[in-house]
Amino acid sequence: MRRLLPHDIAIAFLLMAVLPCAIADDNPGESDRIRFVIDNVIFVTLHEFSHLIIEDFGVPVLGNIEDAADTLAAVTLIRRDQAGPERDFQLIRSLLTAADANRILWQRGLEKDNLAIYFARHPLSIQRAARIECLAYGRSSISSTPN
């Protein structure tokens, strides 16, 4: 894996800071699409930072390293959402949006006809979606699930 350089980290933080400001309140349809992109950028950025943490700190990984990075990114969003004073589940919704994106990839059939994807480092998109959803919904009792 390529090591992240300081400018990579700066670009990631810049994206996380600027993208939420791009949501237009006057056009709800456009706002939903932008929110979908922002939520996925947040998850992917955390996933890539998870690789950095795993490698730089020598975190032992049992199983697939991509699953470990997904799990660390998901737990980061869940724990951060639980630490917020409002507990509005926005970060949990971001996590579930990442699961939706993986499910959409699977439904579009982009992986089904490509045998190489079955031997790749990343699990199938449908597997990633299921794992992310299990982490999100299994985090606490039913009474605290987002609407």
Task: Give residue 24's pLDDT.
Answer: 46
Each domain of the chain, given as residue ranges in start order, spans: 40-140
> Are the beta carbons of 54 and 75 closer than 8 angstroms?
no
Higher-confidence position of 77 and 23: 77
> Are the beta carbons of 42 and 55 closer than 8 angstroms?
no
pLDDT tens figures, 92-117: 888 899 999 888 887 877 666 666 66
Task: Give residue 110's pLDDT.
Answer: 66
How buried is residue 62: exposed, middle or buried, by Cβ count under 10 Å (0-12/13-18/19+)?
exposed
HEC string for the chain: CCCCCHHHHHHHHHHHHHHHHHCCCCCHHHHHHHHHHHHHHHHHHHHHHHHHHHHHCCCCCCCCHHHHHHHHHHHHHHHHHHHCCCCCCHHHHHHHHHHHHHHHHHHCCCCCCCHHHHHCCCCCHHHHHHHHHHHHHCCCCHHHCCC
Range 81-116 burial, b when 16+ CB lie within 10 A, else e = beeeeeeebbbbbbbbbbbbbbbebbeeeebeeeee
Task: Give residue 7's pLDDT.
Answer: 53
Token code pair at residue 70: 């997904």
> Residue 12 pLDDT more than 70?
no
Q: How much is the mean pLDDT over the chain? A: 75
> Are the beta carbons of 74 and 132 closer than 8 angstroms?
yes
Does the pTM surpass 0.85? The reply is no
Instruction: Please tell me which of 1-15, 73-87, 132-146 the model is most confident about, judged by mean pLDDT.
Output: 73-87
